[in-house]
A and B are shown apart, each in its own frame.
Chain A
């Protein structure tokens, strides 16, 4: 059985203008020791998905209106806040984009690491200190014992993210959720953090969810990928399969819009941009949500009328489109 099984999750924000369908029927699973990458542009619902799993969505205005989140056999959406607190930080942990704001600037690093050990295991002061040093060493912070009593402002952005990771893995969680963990960091620091996360996943056999807007980060880290658009998963596959044979017009467009780092004369070409912008999630299009921007949508086959199902196009490769790439050749141009 999968470590985490999400079924038909719907998280809506109830505002004066109406219900914003931020996450609208999302299903996926995460295996122990494997990484699921969730990729999409701003507003696609990827972060709200993560917060929903952790029970961290702001209530009100948001509410999980449907669906289940089964983690190690228990449905988290049915648990009390107290039971959820026992799981959060211990069994599943999360790191966020901005290491500058997720640490408390007025507390020493030591206090912030030992807090979680105390909450979940009731460590003694000495044991907690010893464990904190081990954790800082594990995330490769040099001179760990000396740095324990420093305040966050003494650390660089990359070092702060390491501290956040140390806190997240303090209780040996089974699942680690990383929401844009390297977006605020320089590219060389990003590489170190991604390498670190990968090593930790392997050493601890953790399941991992990496949420990012960056297809490169997905290619580096994920075993499985889910591409989100307008609150829904539009394509899902093994990472190599997705990059080799993207099926959804949106995935193809996203990959085509990326400037290339390698190859001669890359400057000559124009980038393939996607016209328009994502739909309003208070009143999303009735049919396929990508139809208004899709080069393959047409009036005769219901793209604008009926939402396509997420269907299997090859083993383990799901797509939500009437015009996936491999079924398109037949159409005369």
Chain B
């Protein structure tokens, strides 16, 4: 069943969104190709970093992989199964294997549920174990992500962004998934807290053999997490390859433009980078 070792295999994925306009009577006037024919593989235990600017289609890709959005065309094979052909019940079962960590730990946790209930929810939904074993599992999960298990009965608003994101990660881990889509998991966090969460995600990958699709607009963050990189622009992958190759020897002009646009914490390098940036200006201007 295995497809040359890839846990996830995406081929020619497309997602169109209808654009409506008109006064009182809305009509679909045209469509936008948010994702426009992309293909990639992720091998088990590895991380693919999907990087791009806003509107490049990177989050839409993540949602299509998880079947949270229905792709317009293309194939998504996960553990050898074609997800786009599965029925609702089968998708529900597959979801145990694939989870998501969202960007904003402020809005992705239900403020009326306790931390314990939030982490237990996937276990409840999928009817895993008895009530007693579920409670033990929740404490274990919180412990794994570095969140004090004694706080299970508290509410999300009592915690900082970093602590909340730990709860989000614990919830994603609850069903022992093999793939986690991380959609801008540290974008809402301060630098010092961001490092804590990135380290946590690395530790969990090592300890549980997780596979990540890591989506971010932050080129440095993506690099620190990824084995392979895919650079997206206007719904397409313009360049893909091992992280060191893409970052140190970029082939595509857009990748170079992106990389020289990032402000690096090194004032001496600034002048060179600024000069290089001006040379590549026309690439950016086209966007």
> Which residues of A are in contact with B by a Cβ distance under 8 Å?
41-42, 186-188, 190-192, 194-195, 213-220, 239-240, 243, 253-255, 257-262, 264-267, 270-275, 277
Contact = CB atoms under 8 A, between A and B. Distances in A.
Interface stretch (B89-97, B106-114, B133-141, B264-272): B264-272
A257 B191 contact: yes
22 contacts: A41-B190, A187-B217, A187-B262, A188-B258, A190-B261, A213-B190, A215-B265, A216-B263, A216-B265, A239-B267, A257-B194, A258-B220, A259-B198, A259-B221, A259-B224, A261-B264, A265-B244, A266-B223, A266-B224, A267-B223, A267-B224, A270-B202
Contact of B54 (A186, A219, A270): A186
**Shortest beta-carbon contacts, A-B, top 4:** A216-B263, A259-B224, A273-B195, A274-B192
Contacts of B60: none
Nearest to B268: A240
A84 B54 CA distance: 39
Contact of B190 (A42, A219, A266): A42
A216 B261 CA distance: 11
Contacts of A190: 261, 263
Contacts of A239: 267
A213 B187 CA distance: 12
B196 A273 contact: yes
Nearest to B56: A186
A267 B264 contact: no
B261 A191 contact: yes
Interface of B: 53-54, 160, 162, 190-196, 198-199, 202, 217-221, 223-227, 243-244, 247-248, 257-270, 274, 277-278, 284, 287
Given A267-B243, A271-B199, A258 B226 contact: no
Given A41-B190, A270-B202, A214 B54 contact: no
Question: Which residue of B191, B219, B259, B262 has the most chain A CB atoms within 10 A of its CB atom?
Answer: B191
A245 to B, nearest CB: 12
A103 to B, nearest CB: 19
B224 A260 contact: yes
B265 A258 contact: yes
Contacts of A187: 53, 217, 219, 258, 261-262
Given A213-B190, A258-B265, A267 B195 contact: no
